[in-house]
Amino acid sequence: MFRTELAGRNATLLDAFQVLRSRPGLVDLRDDGRIVSASITLPPGEGEGYWELFDLAGDAYVVVSNCSYREPRSELVPSEGFIECHITLAGSVLLGREDDEPVDLQDPVLVMCKQGRGADYTVWCDAGPRRLISLYLRPDFVAAIAGTGAVSPMLGVLLDELPGRFACYQLPIKPALAEITRQLIMPPYTGKRRLLFVQAQIYALLCLLLDEIHDADLTAGLSEIFTERDLAKFEAARGILMSCAGPPPTVAELARSVGTNATKLKKGFKLVYGTTLFEFALNERMRRAMHLLSVERMSIGTVADAVGYQHQASFSAAFKKYYGMLPKAARRAGAGLGAKTNKPDGQSASAPTDSP
């Protein structure tokens, strides 16, 4: 989300870093000749925390997110040809099982991806905490540090130009990689020693990531290469769920609506947007319910019907599980709670297998 904050909607990563250099008064900018660093605090009203950005001589760009969003956020991610590595320790990212039940959000997640030319997509983040590291690596830099040995199948895909395609792989995280990620989010040093420490940790992280890529089995876990048409269908499905006033369609119905199959839609939606269809649909229903209760001041029965619950009791139970309060408490609180859309830490919902 840092692109939009720094350089406006539809900005590229390089646009954002150019703003850092051209407007030094905008952020706390530090440059020791080897690594450029800048810190950006979330604007008041949008949440708490900060992003920290690092530029390693134009070969690697690193973005640390340690914040909590007050509202769901989204932005377009234009294709720039980088190999991307996203290591999430906390945030709205769910791992999938074969039965499509969501897994606890606190488990670390590693996503490796590559956008080919023209394969733009939109990334969506739920409200709540985001603690992750994102690395954007030039392919020639990765090829150079990978050495002259045999190229693994996954690295071969990530080094490819992939015109009009988007390759995405979700991998498990080894403890050493998770620990380096935590230290990059909260370094133990300040000043110049902090920059030196961060630079060393980034290179250590790159070594571990290359090991992960080399050892990865392309047939294991979640992996896919998507076309521009696929990405457009995933975005269309997201739009349907966002505009759905009643019960969400089943996965099969949604897949038919956008012209794809259910398996590709479930897998692609999770990889591209970092959340399951069910969780996204639930977020939208609860967010709409909160608005209708606290801002529009509608009756509980009317709101339950508006968001697709047949029985008021079922709606009240779902609302309390999501927000930690009953609908009548949200309605009494009024507009002061209208912006609260994140569910309490540690809560998650179980998904039926036949609908989002």
Q: How far apart are the first and last CA of the chain?
A: 25
- What gap in Å lies between CA 348 and CA 342, rounded to an integer? 11
Residues 217 and 284 occupy one common structural domain: no
| Better-predicted residue by pLDDT, 131 or 340 | 131
Q: Quote the pLDDT of residue 24.
A: 60
Range 283-305 average pLDDT: 89
Task: Say whether both 216 and 87 belong to one domain.
Answer: yes
E strands of 164-323, at which residues?
165-171, 222-227
Q: Is residue 230 part of a domain?
A: no
For residues 206 and 250, membership in a common domain is answered with no
- Residues 126, 63: one domain? yes
Same domain, 183 and 302: no
Separation in Å, CA 22 to CA 2, 26, 33, 64: 16, 9, 17, 21
The DSSP bridge partners found for residue 53 are: 38, 63
Report the C-alpha gap between 73 and 26 in whole angstroms: 22
Greatest extent of the chain over all pairs of C-alpha atoms, in Å: 67
Residues 247 and 206 in one domain: no
Q: What distance in Å separates the CA atoms of residue 199 and residue 193, rounded to the nearest whole number? A: 10
pLDDT for 204-239, tens place per residue?
Answer: 999 988 888 877 655 444 456 777 788 888 889 989
The verdict on 213 and 256 lying in the same domain is no
Whether residue 38 is found in the same domain as residue 78? yes
Both 9 and 99 in one domain: the answer is yes
| Of 90 and 281, the one with more pLDDT | 281
Q: What is the pTM of this model?
A: 0.62
Worst-scoring range by mean pLDDT, 105-114, 168-177, 279-288, 313-322? Answer: 105-114
* 352 belongs to a structural domain: no
Spatial distance between the Cα atoms of 101 and 246, rounded to a whole number of angstroms: 22
Count how many domains the chain has: 2
Is residue 318 situated within a structural domain? Answer: yes
pLDDT tens track for 78-120: 889 999 998 887 765 433 223 333 333 344 678 888 888 888 8
Domain holding 289, by residue range, is 242-337
Task: Please tell me whether residues 183 and 306 are part of one structural domain.
Answer: no
